[in-house]
Amino acid sequence: MALLAVHDLGIRFGGLAALAEVSVEVSQGEILGLIGPNGAGKSTVFNVLTGLYRPDSGRVMFAGESLLGLAPHVIARRGIARTFQNTEVFRPLSVVDNVRVGLHARLGGGVVAAALWSPRVAREERAARERALTLLERLDLADVADVEAGALPLGRQKRLEMARALAAEPRCLLLDEPAGGLNPTETRELMELIVTLREELRLTLIVVEHDMDLVMGISDRVAVLHYGRKIAEGTPREVAHDAAVLDAYLGAAEPSDATF
């Protein structure tokens, strides 16, 4: 059984069909690349999966249970976390405190205990800092743990956002254009990091990305959206030679030598 299953997803904004009859399944431990031209509906899929949008039709199942109608924080506790296309770090906070924000969804001290700074809260906060530092070490950010997040270069801010998402201990991580604005060296390092996280944390990942070298280099399968509809799905090699995909990206179906 698939860990995440989307069936016939549809959502309209006014008269515009942002998604129409989109179906895709992702197995435990798989990396799925989700690609398509600008406006194809990729981020809309993420917004539905994380409860920011409620679809007009279709089903979203995670670990055998429906996610539809659940609040974003409930979905996060179920095991789905995400990053955003535009980096969303808390700029005035330190790097380690950014990760601790992500950890608080897992803390159980309660509002009253926190206000009184009970021994339980103190223990939890110490444990949270240690957990945050461990995540920063894993993402090669330990050396800047106490630096203001807004002072980091873009590449390290993107890693920080991933660390904060991982703090919620997700089973499925959604990465929205993680390579946007990165140079080739940073992109190669990011590819290695994503594969390592999958292997070490047994993560399932869905990656929305315009960098086709990254998508084709790390994905087990690739699904392609165009004007809100899925037009292709398969291995990276199959998708790279699909006539409909080439036409959507290049305007002409010439599968022989064309590349993304």
pLDDT in tens, 22-53: 999 999 999 999 999 988 999 999 999 999 99
For residue 112, is pLDDT > 80? no
Q: Which of 162, 172, 169 is nearest to 105 (CA)?
A: 169
What are the residue ranges spanned by the domains of the chain? 4-89+169-250, 92-151
pLDDT tens, 225-234? 999 999 999 9
What's domain 4-89+169-250's architecture? 3-Layer(aba) Sandwich (3.40)
Tokens of 90: 């808390």
Prediction pTM value: 0.88
Q: Check pLDDT > 80 for residue 58.
A: yes
Tell me the average pLDDT across 146-164: 95
pLDDT at 188 exceeding the cut of 70:
yes
pLDDT at 127 (0 to 100): 83
Give the model confidence (pLDDT) of 195-243 as tens digits.
999 999 999 999 999 999 999 999 999 999 999 999 999 999 999 999 9
Provide the pLDDT confidence category of residue 21 given band limits of 50, 70 and 90. very high
For 183, phi and psi rounded to 5 degrees? -85, 170
Nearest to 86 by CA among 33, 170, 185, 157: 157
State residue 71's pLDDT score: 95
Dihedral of CA 195/196/197/199: which sign?
positive
Question: Which pLDDT tens digit goes with each residue over 64-99?
Answer: 999 999 999 999 999 999 999 888 889 999 999 999
Give me the mean pLDDT over the 142-159 stretch: 95
Cα-only R_g, the chain: 19
pLDDT digits (tens, 9 = 90+) for 241-260: 999 998 887 664 444 343 45
